[in-house]
Amino acid sequence: MTDAPDPDAAHPVNGLDEVVHQRVRLGILTITHEARRVEFGYLRTQLELTAGNLSKHLSVLEEAGLIEVEKGYEGRRGRTWITLTAAGGTALAAEIGRLKQLIARVETTEPREDR
């Protein structure tokens, strides 16, 4: 027998953050969480994005205070480095927590046809 979710509790999907949950931005936050800082080109390659598309997503995350963008040089080449802020780490952890709640609901609830 499985425990049914509390019908009075808010559904976990209601707590998903639109800024964080978007596929590319979730990927950016996850990759930056895995490293101290990440180079723009690495993110672009890993997420299979154009430079313009990645730049737009980085701007959204930066405006939300979830990442910091640092521009500089390595030798003569211009580089852009992305780091996760404390707020970004908190937002990512909260999003993962909500996703885990959703997974648990699916895995522990038998589907009913009369919904």
CB 85 within 8 A of CB 65: yes
97 has pLDDT over 80: yes
Q: What is the pLDDT of residues 45-63, one digit of tens each?
A: 999 999 999 999 999 999 9
What percent of the chain has a predicted confidence (pLDDT) above 90?
Answer: 62
CA distance 80 to 78: 7
Q: What is the pLDDT of residue 5?
A: 53
